[in-house]
Structure 1
Amino acid sequence: MALSRRALLATAFFGTASLAAAPAIGQAPRRATPGPLGPFGLDAAQFGLRPGSADDQSQQFQAALGEAARRDAPLVIAPGRYRISRVALPNGARLIGVPGATHLIAAQAGPLLVARGLERVALSGMTLDGLDIRVAGRDGLLNADDVADLGIRDCAFVHAGSVGLVLSRTGGSVEASQFRAMRESALFSLDSRGLQIERNQVEDCGNNGIQLWRSQPGDERSMVRGNRVERIRADAGGDGPNGNGISLYKAGGVIIEGNSLRDCALTFIRNNSGSGVQILGNQGRRCGECGIYAEFAFEGAIIANNLVEDCAQGANITNLDHGGRLSVFANNIIRNARKGLYPGVKEPIGGIGVHVEAEATVTGNVIENASETGISLGWSWGMRNLVATGNMVRKTGIGIAVSVVPKQRNALIAGNVIAEATRGAVVGTEYGKVVTGDLTKGPDARAAGVRVENNAVG
Structure 2
Amino acid sequence: MTATSLNAADFGLTPGASSDQSNILNTAIDAAATQRLPLFIPAGTYRITEAVVDKAVEIYAQSGSAAFIPVSGSETCRFAIAPASGRLADVTLRGLRIDGQHAPFPNGYGTPGLINASKCDRLQIIDCQVVNSGASGLFLWQCGGRVQGCEANGNASRGIFSVDATGLSILSNRLDGNQDNGIAVWRYSIGRDGTIVRGNRIRNTGNVSGGTGQYGNGFSSYRANNLIVAENEITSSAFSAIRLNSCSASQVINNQCFDAPEVAIYVEAPNGSSNPAIVYDGGIVSGNIVDLCGVGISVTNVDAGGRRAVVANNQVTRARNNTITYPGGSYQTYGKGIGGQGDVLITGNMVEDVEAFGISVFPTNVNSGKLGNQKIFDSVTGNTVKKCGGGIALVNSDANHGRILVGGNIINDYKTDGSGVSGAIVRATYNGATDSVQRVPGSPDLGNDTTSSLSNVVLYRNYAFN
Partners of 2:360 and 2:349 in 1: CA distance: 13
CA change 1:359–1:268 in 2 (3 A) is same
Partner of 1:424: 423
Q: How far 1:433 moved relative to its partner?
A: 2.9
Q: 1:369 aligns with which of 337, 343, 353?
A: 353
Q: 2:308 aligns with which of 326, 336, 348?
A: 326
Confirm whether residue 176 of structure 1 aligns to residue 149 of structure 2: yes
Q: Are the aligned partners of 2:363 and 2:378 in contact in 1 as well (CA < 8 Å)?
A: no
Q: 1:132 aligns with which of 98, 102, 113?
A: 102
Unaligned residue ranges in structure 1 (runs of 5+): 1-35
Q: 1:456 aligns with which of 437, 445, 463?
A: 463
Q: Are the aligned partners of 2:376 and 2:403 in contact in 1 as well (CA < 8 Å)?
A: yes
Confirm whether residue 415 of structure 1 aligns to residue 399 of structure 2: no
Confirm whether residue 160 of structure 1 aligns to residue 133 of structure 2: yes
Partner of 1:145: 118
* Aligned amino acid, residue 341 of structure 2: E
Residues 394-424 of structure 1, C-alpha deviations (whole Å, 9 max, x = no match): 0111100011355133111000111011111
Q: TM-score, normalised by structure 1?
A: 0.89
Partners of 2:446 and 2:111 in 1: CA distance: 52
Secondary structure of 1:312's counterpart equals strand
Secondary structure of 1:160's counterpart equals coil
Partners of 1:209 and 1:75 in 2: CA distance: 30
Residues 371-409 of structure 1, C-alpha deviations (whole Å, 9 max, x = no match): 000000017748931111110000111100011355133
Partner of 2:93: 123
* Aligned amino acid, residue 185 of structure 1: R
Structure number with higher helix proportion: 1
Partners of 1:64 and 1:37 in 2: CA distance: 18
Q: Are the aligned partners of 2:448 and 2:462 in contact in 1 as well (CA < 8 Å)?
A: no
Partners of 1:403 and 1:284 in 2: CA distance: 27
* Aligned amino acid, residue 104 of structure 2: R
* Aligned amino acid, residue 362 of structure 2: G
Partners of 1:103 and 1:402 in 2: CA distance: 57
* Aligned amino acid, residue 39 of structure 2: L
Residues 322-374 of structure 1, C-alpha deviations (whole Å, 9 max, x = no match): 10111000000000001121124644323110100010100010000110000
Partner of 2:388: 396
Unaligned residue ranges in structure 2 (runs of 5+): 270-278, 367-374, 416-421, 431-436
Partner of 1:437: 444
Confirm whether residue 59 of structure 1 aligns to residue 14 of structure 2: no
Partners of 1:169 and 1:346 in 2: CA distance: 35
Partners of 1:45 and 1:146 in 2: CA distance: 30
Secondary structure of 1:267's counterpart equals coil
Partners of 2:2 and 2:425 in 1: CA distance: 73
Partner of 1:313: 295
Q: How far 1:75 moved relative to its partner?
A: 0.3
CA change 1:346–1:116 in 2 (3 A) is closer
**Which one has a bigger Cα radius of gyration?**
1
CA change 1:216–1:313 in 2 (3 A) is same
* Aligned amino acid, residue 154 of structure 2: A
Q: Give percent identity, aligned residues only.
A: 33
Q: Are the aligned partners of 1:288 and 1:343 in contact in 2 as well (CA < 8 Å)?
A: no
* Aligned amino acid, residue 91 of structure 2: V
Secondary structure of 1:131's counterpart equals coil
Which consecutive aligned stretches of 4+ in structure 1 deviate over 6 angstroms post-superposition?
A: none
Partner of 1:97: 61
CA RMSD of aligned residues (A): 1.7
How many pairs were matched up?
A: 421
Q: How does 1:163-312 map to 2 (within 5 A)?
A: 163-296=136-269, 297-312=279-294
